[in-house]
Amino acid sequence: MRGAKKQIESENRVLEKGQALTLPFASPLHAISGFERLSKRKIFDKGAVLFAEGQTARDVYVVCSGRLKISMTSAEGRKLIVRIARPGDLLGIHAALTGQSYEATAETLSACQIDIVSREDLLELLERQKTFGLSVAVALSRDFTEFLEHARGLLMSISAPEKLARLLLNLADQFGRRTTNGISFKTLLTHEEIAQMIGASRETVTRSLNMFTRKRFIRPEEGEVLILNHVALSALASQGS
């Protein structure tokens, strides 16, 4: 837990210096009077599972810092990571509001600060302050749009390198910071997890990343990826469009 706190403090210092390209943490639930009183903030280490696909939805989770992978499992048992959650995202809210089971699994990719509110308390808050219903609906719509965009990338792309290029560009847009040489970002994903995001094998991901490096599209740097040639990577990503 101490290591998780140090990692969160380090990430917060990076944000304070203005190095990140992501939007500041903002959640529609925090604007609701009484939310902070009813919610509990917890710190989760990397690899923690907040909830699993098929479990009864009892809580809603608000990401305050860190990143999580949201994954689903096919009937054949194949795992697909459908998106990366970031600060401000609401997790499990659709299942909680509709009384269904969680439709996906949420697992931390880094140390995370998460605000947790029970389904019953959230429904009571929304009932008392119905004007915030639209903000919650907008958040749900954004999540659905991201899911559709990810699915579109998988269906429209004709090759693994193209899918990988799209993923790297999306991660750079969400989590990157500008440097003198390009855009640098931490993926926090293993080659296997990247494969689960683009529907490819781990070996294919490794070969494609090596190819990108040889062509100087990217450069791996101590747990980070530096995009050297954004134009070339974008051209590859748009081949199937």
- List pLDDT tens digits, range 12-47: 443 333 333 333 456 777 777 778 888 999 999 999
Question: Model confidence over 175-233: pLDDT tens digits?
Answer: 999 999 999 999 899 999 999 999 899 999 999 999 999 999 999 988 899 999 999 99
Domain pair 2-155 / 158-237, same fold: no
Residue 133: per-residue pLDDT = 56
More confident residue, 123 or 81: 81
pLDDT at 95: 87
The per-residue DSSP string of the chain comes to: -HHHHHHHHHHHHHHHTT---SPPP--GGGGSTTHHHH-EEEEE-TT-EEE-TTSB--EEEEEEES-EEEEEE-TTS-EEEEEEE-TT-EESHHHHHHT-B-SSEEEESS-EEEEEEEHHHHHHHHHH-GGGHHHHHHHHHHHHHHHHHHHHHHHH--SHHHHHHHHHHHHHHHH-EE-SSSEEEE----HHHHHHHHT--HHHHHHHHHHHHHTTSEEEETTEEEES-HHHHHHHHTTT-
pLDDT at 14: 39
Whole-number pLDDT of residue 67: 95
What would the mean pLDDT of 55-70 be, rounded to a whole number?
94
Map out the domains of the chain as residue ranges: 2-155, 158-237
Return the CATH number of 158-237, one of 3.10.580.10, 1.10.10.10, 3.30.70.600, 2.40.50.140: 1.10.10.10
Read off the pLDDT of residues 88-97 as tens digits, 9 standing for 90 and up: 888 998 888 8
Phi, psi of 236, rounded to the nearest 5 degrees: -65, -40
Instruction: Return the top range by mean pLDDT from 12-26, 114-128, 150-164.
Output: 114-128
Tell me what pLDDT residue 156 has: 55
The whole-angstrom distance between residue 20's C-alpha and the CA centroid of its chain comes to: 15
Neighbours of 89 (CB within 10 A): 23
Fold category of 2-155 in CATH: Jelly Rolls (2.60.120)
